[in-house]
Structure 1
């Protein structure tokens, strides 16, 4: 039914403007972990605590800290129950953090039926369908021996972290579909599963409940279940977006096209269009129009549920980095005759807004113009995306264009260490003088040679270099293929007047001398700091579970220090390791060396170690464990 526009009911809030949007999706709903009220009654094994310690060296050595915020499965008693949410879901986007005890096994069951495996798979090189992140197999006792388990899907690569570290899981799940008679007409599907920032599954169909599911039937909705009978696991930060099956749609599209150069959308509002045509995608499709045109697209927007919506609009011929003094285009979106948002060159062609809409059908009008094109922004497409209550983020009527066929240009370290020079993105900044090193046991790292900074490390496959070599080489970047942990990007060594002196952002006396390659094929970086000569090296250890980092300084003086880590917090653990950034990774020191933990002016923590001189030379070695 066509709704009359009551502006008092259509509450518009323009939340975002400028070159880039700061908010591009609506917030998730959090499951409360201050109490267990969001869960159905369960066994005594499920507890709320404030912190957990699992020792990666041995199972059963965990300890719990009283409080709330972390849901943990404590199997020290007799209870081994699963836990179910009161919330029941169909289609869902789910995010959570989890931590495994050494050797432990658990699982997250969507609708209590379809499992994503949680397992201690630290260091596994060839993951199977029982490893962490796998979509677990189905089971049929009537099948022949060796084939009772079927349809299991291992992760495409193993990016599991060490027991005792927090890991992140993000799941997009599409529930099975049923007709009016209750008959299943479409299988459940894992649209996408990401673990520790890496996509490990896409579009995986499951034909029925996986092994050890709570139920063997299938339904449109069901509770989220966490397995409790296999091993200790801790969960926190559970949040979700649940969706219905009725979509937002944009139909009855008509394009009115105008020729000429324009400075505002008002200039062609009273003109007679040069041509009119029906369209089915959002793009300026008028024949012969490449530059110097304007258009009005009208259609009907169907809103399935009353509530707050987030809308993003991008005119793709206006790139973010365009010269804002030379306006090449702009646009304006109206819903039911009222302006919702405008987009300009100064916005970089992108703008977002929040608005509250009652369910119903609304007339939509999108007016825009383009005066000239740029070689790196040739598209005349328009991206209009919307997200709201019970509706996933949806790009309306997009143009589907075939990309230039090109295979991924990947660099992999198969049998020996591999080095790749190139550009690397670190904390949003392009570093142009970097070298990345990959080890055959899937441990990798990047160093900035111009500044002497250890930028990042990751476990998994090495690099994709397609952006470096395909076409014009835009964006010139080499991109890690595994799960990346970024460091702060400051020097590892510095001269300090005392242990309280601030750590410098850069070393003015740093002078890069290149690197040697040792017998194993690993680089040994050489540079000077003032009068001191430094040799710096990295080496994978413990079958890829650790990355050893070493320095030799000649001559070493009493005022040179090594900065091992920086993070929001640094905590010394009962096993002698140091947990960095809320248990993102560990620092391990040899022997009985005691580092300095201190607070910076930005209220972060630093872990420092003096470079002690012996016969004029000093060495520092530590290991990163993750």
Structure 2
């Protein structure tokens, strides 16, 4: 009986395999539209050919202070990096984006002081909103050896989704985020049609895997959605007393 059962299983598998191979291979080949050519950068983290350079190490031409459109006070640019000016407030892009791929690098000062949330705190708002919590924040913080609530540590979608792992490098070393952002969509009446989603690699390690957001990322209270369209990307000037962090090599690809 056992041998008969094995024969039946093998015969069934062979029959299914034969069925799957019938017909012409051309029937399932797709030849158009042809994907456009994008030239990859030779150096890891460098911008590909179709990227918009948001910071090239020299100027803040693509940026504006959130509370001062004239940029009469600027974050410091020197040595190819931007250093946060906490007194000047947040910095955001002049352009607005919907879905995108973002690369950005940050460095916590080697002599950083403080603990918990007051240790190199900043944030990358993937869509800056002019109300409430200010948008959807990917946390920037020193968590190389610094404990805080897990949905507020580096790599988290603030107060919503902890990172899958802690991939932080030690203070003084550069960290990199690579982000794929899908903005939320809204119906004409303002109701949510589809939520925001984000995938994040921190220093090349997956920390957010197609995470679905419940809304914006408030410090106090529950997340919520309000209708909006394309929005700027914003870098946060957090109000703690620790030394300010720096950013470099920022580019974006519209998707």
- The superposition leaves residues 16-72 of structure 1 with CA deviations (integer Å, 9 ceiling, x where unpaired) of 9xxxxxxxx75422114422221123573612111xxxxxxxxxxxxxxxxxx3111
The residue number in structure 2 matching 1:157 is 165
The residue number in structure 2 matching 1:59 is none
TM value normalised by structure 2: 0.65
The residue matched to 1:31 in structure 2 has which SS?
strand
1:319-338 maps to which residues of 2 (within 5 A)? none
Alignment of 1:88 onto 2:92: no
Alignment match of 1:35 (pick from 56, 59, 65) = 59
Cα distance change on mapping 1:43 and 1:216 into 2, 3 Å: farther
- The superposition leaves residues 315-374 of structure 1 with CA deviations (integer Å, 9 ceiling, x where unpaired) of xxxxxxxxxxxxxxxxxxxxxxxxxxxxxxxxxxxxxxxxxxxxxxxxxxxxxxxxxxxx
The residue matched to 1:87 in structure 2 has which SS?
coil
The residue number in structure 1 matching 2:105 is 97
The whole-number CA distance in structure 2 between the counterparts of 1:31 and 1:165 is 21
The residue number in structure 1 matching 2:125 is 109
Cα distance change on mapping 1:126 and 1:47 into 2, 3 Å: closer
Alignment of 1:129 onto 2:143: no
The whole-number CA distance in structure 2 between the counterparts of 1:167 and 1:185 is 34
The whole-number CA distance in structure 1 between the counterparts of 2:194 and 2:149 is 29
The whole-number CA distance in structure 2 between the counterparts of 1:121 and 1:203 is 23
The whole-number CA distance in structure 2 between the counterparts of 1:98 and 1:189 is 23
**How many residues are aligned here?**
189
The residue matched to 1:81 in structure 2 has which SS?
coil
Cα distance change on mapping 1:126 and 1:106 into 2, 3 Å: closer
Structure 2 residue runs without a partner (length 5+): 1-35, 40-47, 113-118, 129-134
RMSD of the alignment, in Å?
A: 3.1
Aligned partners of 2:201 and 2:208 also within 8 Å:
yes
Q: CA deviation at 1:170?
A: 0.5
- The superposition leaves residues 298-321 of structure 1 with CA deviations (integer Å, 9 ceiling, x where unpaired) of xxxxxxxxxxxxxxxxxxxxxxxx
Aligned partners of 1:29 and 1:240 also within 8 Å:
yes
Aligned partners of 1:90 and 1:221 also within 8 Å:
yes
Alignment of 1:199 onto 2:206: yes
Which structure shows the bigger proportion of residues in helix conformation? 2
Q: CA deviation at 1:186?
A: 1.0
Aligned partners of 1:107 and 1:227 also within 8 Å:
yes
TM value normalised by structure 1: 0.28
Structure 1 residue runs without a partner (length 5+): 1-12, 17-24, 51-68, 138-151, 244-626
Cα distance change on mapping 1:43 and 1:234 into 2, 3 Å: farther
Aligned partners of 1:127 and 1:155 also within 8 Å:
no
1:126-275 maps to which residues of 2 (within 5 A)? 128-137=150-159, 152-190=160-198, 192-211=199-218, 217-230=226-239, 232-243=244-255
1:411-560 maps to which residues of 2 (within 5 A)? none
Aligned partners of 1:128 and 1:134 also within 8 Å:
yes
Alignment of 1:46 onto 2:75: yes
Q: Which has the higher contact order (CA 8 A, sep 6+)?
A: 2
Aligned partners of 2:107 and 2:247 also within 8 Å:
yes
